[in-house]
Amino acid sequence: MRISVIFMLFMLFFIIGCKPDGNALKEITQEDLVGEWEIYHATRNGNVTKSLEKGNFVFQADNLVTSNLFSSPNSLNFTYNKANIKIEGDPNITFLKIQKLQKDTLVLSSKMKVFDMEFYLVKK
């Protein structure tokens, strides 16, 4: 009897522990990115940097992106694949990785030159 109670408790904890993760990154489509996103918080190598606040990214449906962080004011081509955004034509930012996207909030990480960057953006 005692063993069956222990077994039942073990199975109960196992089943509870296997529930889906509510914080998992949902399937994001390219359409979710379209629009103007403004940086409200940024970190460089884990430290807050104020110099990138008011930076922005504008993603268009025709695979073009502009940003005041790019070395050129021109629109650049981008490709999107499974939370990875590859940007063509800018030596400073060549990729962005989506860490989180919920409603009007987007968190991106990237490498700018030798710095590990994280951008927190809000959709305008």
Please give the mean pLDDT across all residues of the chain: 87
Report the chain's terminal Cα–Cα distance, integer Å. Answer: 62
Q: How do strand 95-102 and strand 84-87 relate by DSSP bridges?
A: antiparallel
Confidence at residue 18, expressed as pLDDT on a 0 to 100 scale: 59
Confidence at residue 23, expressed as pLDDT on a 0 to 100 scale: 47
Q: Cα separation of 118 and 33, whole Å?
A: 17
Confidence at residue 3, expressed as pLDDT on a 0 to 100 scale: 72
Confidence at residue 55, expressed as pLDDT on a 0 to 100 scale: 95
- Going 66 to 59 to 51 to 92, the CA torsion angle's sign is negative
Domains, the chain, in order of start with CATH, read: 30-123 (2.40.128.280)
Q: Of 20, 27, 22, 25, nearest to 107 (Cα)?
A: 25
Spans in the chain with pLDDT lower than 50: 22-23
